[in-house]
Structure 1
Amino acid sequence: MSKISIILAEDELALGTIIQESLQSRDFQVKLCGDGAQALEAYQTKKPDVLVLDVMMPKMDGFSLAAEIRKTDPYTPIIFLTSKSQTEDVVKGFGLGANDYVRKPFSMEELIVRIKAHLDRLRTRQAQSDWISLGKYEFHPTRQVLKLAEEESPLTARESQLLQMLLENANDITDRTLILTQIWGSDDFFNARSMDVFITKLRKKLQDDPAIQILNVRGYGFKLVC
């Protein structure tokens, strides 16, 4: 089995080398780039499985690099690894198509768990090229569409991510903190309020099948009953 390949863009050489060596010791293949332009060239030379990008870098910052990659590649997981942790920075990062936002300082184990989680979700999406039955509905994760009879309703990217995550744990509890971490990037108060809004939106979109419920399991998370 081939190693998971990562492009790591980090302009602080000492930190970049530590992260690279730590990932390599866990059997990842890592290309370390000192700036955004070098990382873009590496990406264009050989597309990796995952991109881990610092935000503040010379020549091309991480946000600009992500935006450039997302013009042609909507799927390769992009994880920002940065000390820029203001809410507006996080919102901007996700708006540019990032899959995750890890704040410095961080633990290597946390970073590795997030890398593997995003790769697992990508593989699941790629395997789910057809419609998934959900009561009276059908759900297409890749197209981000919910269908009832012959009527299709588009979902936003975040609605689709949330519904897919609930479906992966259908009839079981999906941990609230896990949802916030993997989809919103952190489990702070504002993200939690946003998640509750999206849960309400999904309930409304699924209301034509009374057998489907998204239950709030207080103190734990949500359960999709179907």
Structure 2
Amino acid sequence: MKIFLLEDDFSLNKVIKNSLQNKGFFVESYTDGYKAIDVVINSKYDLYILDVNVLGFDGHKVLEVIRSEDKDVPVIMISAEIDIENIKKSYSLGCNDHIKKPFDFEELYLKIQYLFSHKISEEVTEKVDLGYEFAFDLQEEKLYKHEHEIDLTLKEKHLLTLLVKNINNTVTNEMIHEYVWDSKEMEAVSMRSIVHKLKKKLKNGMIINLRGVGYKLIYQK
């Protein structure tokens, strides 16, 4: 997952960036709105974390630019402001969530997990090409090879759905726990078992293990 972070407090910026990277995310961070606007216009990210009060264009202006280009990408606003009107503005401009500073990193991480795990692509109407003559129907959660359906268990369907939605990006163990097991109690061996079974139904090397972090579904043209 590629995350854009705008936070003008250098110390907090570093803490958030390092913490997210330790969770397996790819993070690009910025401290001023002028640079942020330039990057947002010319690049795409899977999620944006925006501080409201920054130098140059503030977080609200950056949010406006993001929404002018993409109505669905998740955006989390962070601010020390307690003014309810400021919070209302964030939501009226289209943010998905708002966190008041100071906050615990786990709170931010839980919100990111939720947004990623529940993000459904409404634009997908066809099978997703996975390479090696495999395809996956996201709406029906069905795996095909040479147009022949491959049987999947319910949890294999959920896991592959999550991996396909995040193709070529890291899916953390926590994201899998949330999405496939609905955060219910499970043993680590259960996750490894489902991943192993799914790997056997795909070509060797399509799903790679990122030790201690999670997994990634690789697609190469």
Q: Give the TM bin, normalised by the shorter chain.
A: 0.5 to 0.7
Contact 1:7/1:42 (<8 A) preserved: no
- Distance in 1, Cα, partners of 2:55 & 2:38: 14
Query: Using the alignment, how far apart are the partners of 2:119 and 2:31 within structure 1?
Result: 27
Per-residue deviation, 1:40: 2.1
| TM-superposed deviation, 1:36 | 1.6
Q: Distance in 1 between matches of 2:125 and 2:111?
A: 21
The answer to whether structure 1 residue 22 and structure 2 residue 19 are counterparts is yes
Partner of 2:77: 80
Q: 2:114 aligns with which of 117, 135, 143?
A: 117
Is the alpha carbon distance of 1:88 and 1:124 closer, same or farther for their aligned partners in structure 2, counting shifts above 3 Å?
Answer: same
SS in 2 for 1:52: strand
| Residue 9 of structure 2 corresponds to residue 8 of structure 1 | no
The alpha-carbon deviation at position 46 of structure 1 amounts to: 2.2
Higher-RCO chain (CA-CA 8 Å, sequence separation at least 6)? 2
- Corresponding letter in the other structure for 1:67: E
Distance 1:23 1:61 in 2: 23
| SS across alignment from 2:69 | coil
Conserved? CA contact 1:36–1:59, under 8 Å: yes
In structure 2, the residue matched to 1:42 is 39
Aligned pairs, how many? 127
One-letter code aligned to 2:54: M
**What whole-Å deviation, never above 9, does each CA across 1:153-175 have from its counterpart, x for those lacking one?**
xxxxxxxxxxxxxxxxxxxxxxx
Structure 1 CA distance for aligned equivalents of residues 125 and 103 of structure 2: 33
Alignment correspondent of 1:54: 51
Unaligned runs of 5+ in 2: 127-138, 140-221
Residue 105 of structure 1 is matched in structure 2 by 102
Asked if 1:95 corresponds to 2:88, the answer is: no
Runs of 4+ in 1 over 4 A off after TM superposition: 124-129
Q: Does 1:69 align with 2:66?
A: yes
Q: Normalization by structure 2: what TM-score?
A: 0.54
Do the aligned partners of residues 23 and 128 (structure 1) sit closer, same or farther apart at CA in structure 2, a change above 3 Å counting? same
Residues 125 and 86 (structure 1), Cα distance of their counterparts in 2 relative to 1, 3 Å cut: farther
The Cα shift of 1:128 comes to 8.2
Q: Which amino acid aligns with 1:87?
A: I
Percent of matched pairs sharing the same residue: 31
Conservation of the 8 A alpha-carbon contact between 1:51 and 1:79: yes
The match for 1:140 is none
Instruction: Provide TM-score, normalisation by structure 1.
Output: 0.52
Question: Are the equivalent residues in 1 in contact too, given 2:6–2:51 (CA < 8 A)?
Answer: yes
Please give the alpha-carbon distance, in whole angstroms, between the structure 2 residues aligned to 1:122 and 1:41: 26
